[in-house]
Structure 1
Amino acid sequence: MDLLLPAGSVILGFGLLLFGGDWLVLSAVSLACRFRISPSVIGLTIVAAGTSVPEMITSLMATHRGSPDIAIGNVVGSNIFNILVIIGFSSLIRVNRVIPSQIRNEIPFLFLVSALMWGLAADSFIYRWEGGLFLVLFVGFMAFSVIKSRRRFGTDINPDSEEDEMERLKHLGWDLGYLALGLAALMGGAHFALEGSISIARHFGFSERFIGLTIVSAGTGLPELATSSMAALRGKSGIAVGNVIGSNVFNTLMVTGAAASFKTLEIHPRILQLDFLWMLIVTGLLVPAYFVGKRSFNRPTGVVFLSLYIAYVTQLYFSQ
């Protein structure tokens, strides 16, 4: 009976995540076509930022409450979860074709900012000025991605008649409505699924450290999982992969930057020595996995990634 309410919360959460992810993908694809922006860039920007709101809220609340380990652990743990579980699981659903620009630009950029984060944290602190630097880098990344995409796709279109313009604005309103509805469903779904999972974990006696590094980071990554899975089902691999890369860039630069700008973050030695290393390794695995999979993340890649995440969680469990 004690587990009935948490179990119901998890089921409700997953239902909201399923519908929210579907609405978000549909609206994102429509907006991409409307504004002459590639779906992969929409995944890197709007979708990634929207689905990363739980990480932002969690880390800011943790910083405010004086829990920097949760703030930084949530970022690092979510980045590991996003690559190994989300790309892994979505690759089992359908082969994820990777856009060449993601290999040339976005993935190397993600690795560099991850390494920068580790380097700046080497003295066990991320200071407020370093947080400000992360925020500036994030704004630059977003602007570069959108401008580059618009140049590639072009914006020279025939002028619309007044009636066409009214119809376009009407449909734009529907797209934005579905986008907002999808984000709201994802936020609510993540909340219910996360709270229910934490209650169940505590019932079975897992430590707070284990819950924080696994369930909390995985729970805040549920919107990304739902969105990328629905994108894979609909054959929109640009959004599926772009969402993960964009979310990890958002976590590393925006979430860490905002938290550190609010208050200097002190990094636990174990997070610095172990979890940062895991994050860099799995980020670096994206490039060889791309070439092994013949310019895609295929099902064998998905199996390897999911197996690595199981290994990561297992070593965390036994190091409680």
Structure 2
Amino acid sequence: MGFIGVANPKEYQATIAALQKRHAPTTFSWVKGHAGIEGNERADELAKEGCQKEQADTVELVVPPTLKLTGAKLKGMTQALAYKAIRHHKMMKRTYQEALNRRITKINMGRAKYMINELQGTEPSDKLFWRSLRHKDFSRKYRYFIWMTAHNGYKTGEYWQNIPTFEHRANCPQCGEIESMEHILTECENSNQKLIWSLTEELWRNKKPEWIEPRFGTIIGCGLIKITNKEGKHLAGDSRLYRILISEAAHLIWKMRCENVIQGKEISNAEARRRWKATIQSRLEIDCLMTKIRLTKRRLDQKIVKCTWSEVLEEQDNLPENWMGESGVLVGIRTGMG
């Protein structure tokens, strides 16, 4: 299928070309690993030697045009494969690669990876970081928001310093500091921003006493954060709730900032509290609905939903056992005064 969606396509193409150069038939046979077979044992030794090298060997992967296999069979093509092919072609363009290599993008990615390393002791790869921005626990609107934030794609702060007659937009209207995305989400003295994070922390502490402070790096990399217990076991429900709370809170802060700056709308603490509660309540209701849908790939398991929202629901002890699937059951989140 034209190597669409296949890892290491260049290596596969070079290998196939080398086999086609042979004048004799080539056959393959499966060999059981670690069974004392000389060729297999030698292959393992070479693989270990390769892993231990400080500098990788240069392997010639140029394929002659006459031996290069391209394209895909139409009878085997699907809409999903076609989309992957178009996306791959777009990613190979110079403008796309330049966007990935932007200095500010690398800085933001580095800050996220540093925070994950501080929290979990391991630094994620670039590929894992980019995949985390499209985490299934994020809403579609947040996936777009965090992708733009990672690339510094929003027009904030220093962007306006180079626009004549709009230089004043570079500074925060509340505290006068340069209004970067980091400033908007974590540093500004705006009472709404502090209130949103305070409410988020309060709800989280109903589930866990430890609170991971939402810094700029943790917000960008929250799709990689894993909550564990004292024995180091991954708590999937807790991790999912943390991702939901951080992503929804950050996006709400951004939306209220845009309304304030662009529309001139003053948002009171009471209104901010109401909107935060409505946002989290909406995610809870969507989770309940997702346990009912018939589409297998998108359907949520009731167990993970129960693990996610346990300890943060109002009157949880009085709810029926199958509160997610029963119609007419009103489920709310616990909220304090903030």
TM-score (norm 1): 0.24
Larger Rg over CA atoms: 2
More helix by share: 1
